Amino acid sequence: MNLLYFVLTAYGLTQLLCYGKVFAKIRPSGYFWTCPMCMGFWVGVFLCGVNPFTELFTYELTTVNFLICGWISSGTSYILNTVFNDHGIKIHKKGGD
């Protein structure tokens, strides 16, 4: 369950930072700030660093865990971002007019 909580937290924070209107006026322009894969990595590193202050997930504070949490967050945030949008599950039709 720790991993599921981590992934959902990382995805939520990544979406908020990349696309949330809350940060629209202060969000710098640039690819990094709108890329869920890039932002997801740093969100994972951040969450690994603050995990001693939460009971949702607990990981040891090691360099390897910081990297692994960043990779997991980056990958899952990107995958979830390509599957879901504001209107639900993204469905793309191939071919046809």
pLDDT for residue 11:
95
pLDDT, block means (10 residues), the chain with 97 residues: 93 93 87 91 96 91 96 96 85 72
Say what the pLDDT of residue 97 is.
56
Distance, first Cα to last Cα, the chain: 44
| The residue count for the chain | 97
